Amino acid sequence: MASLFNTSPMLIFFFLFLISVVPSSIANKPDIQHKICSKTSNPQECLNLKHVKTSKTLEAITKASIVVALQQAKDIHTKINAVSKKEKDKFLNNLYWHCSKNYNDAIRDLTIAKRSFNSYQFDNIPIETVDAEQEVQACKTVFLAAKRDPANLKNGNEKFYLLAQIARQSSEELVKKISGL
């Protein structure tokens, strides 16, 4: 029994030593997915996206987000063009044309972001992803104004906007990490 009391202070000392040695950033740091998603317009939806759940590094999340956002932009762009061809309302058709142009620009921005990632020019990625976000922000109003939404453009636009936000947030964190900030 006496040896138990003699070892208890040693165990407490050892435990306190371990706590002081282990960096507090490891013990208290929220995982990177939560950090990125908390800065988006829909954190819960962000956390539920497969590429966010399965990616464990900033690099992986950034690359996957750019690729997924680029594909989403291409899909929406195709749908906008198809709906535009069938739309009889000239005013709405004109708005679709502008959104098509905006999505074309967003595709260009994300293609540049992807190229920047592949060539390790990470500083360029946040600039391009912000541009992509801004391009489609105006389309939100257009899709809300539409009397009908057969191609589900409103939801597709919202999803793209979230994907672009994730790409931006993860790329900004990546730039901070590389810069040592």
Q: What is the pLDDT of residues 152-165, one digit of tens each?
A: 899 999 999 999 99
CATH superfamily ID and name for 30-179: Invertase/pectin methylesterase inhibitor family protein (1.20.140.40)
- H/E segment holding residue 2: helix 2-21
Query: What is the spatial distance between Cα 104 and Cα 62, in angstroms, rounded to a whole number?
Result: 21
Q: Are 122 and 175 in contact (CB under 8 A)?
A: yes
Name the one residue in this structure whose structure tokens are 């939560």. 34
Structure tokens at 132: 């992509």
For residue 7, pLDDT over 90 is answered with: no
Q: Which residues contact 100 (CB under 8 A, 6 or more apart)?
A: 77, 80, 81, 84
**Region for 108 from its dihedrals, namely left if φ exceeds 0, alpha if ψ lies in -120 to 50, beta otherwise:** alpha
23-27, 98-102, 146-150: which range is least confident on average? 23-27
pLDDT at 130 over 60: yes
CA neighbor of 111 nearest in space, from 180, 167, 177, 28: 167
Per the listing, tokens 């040592």 go with 180
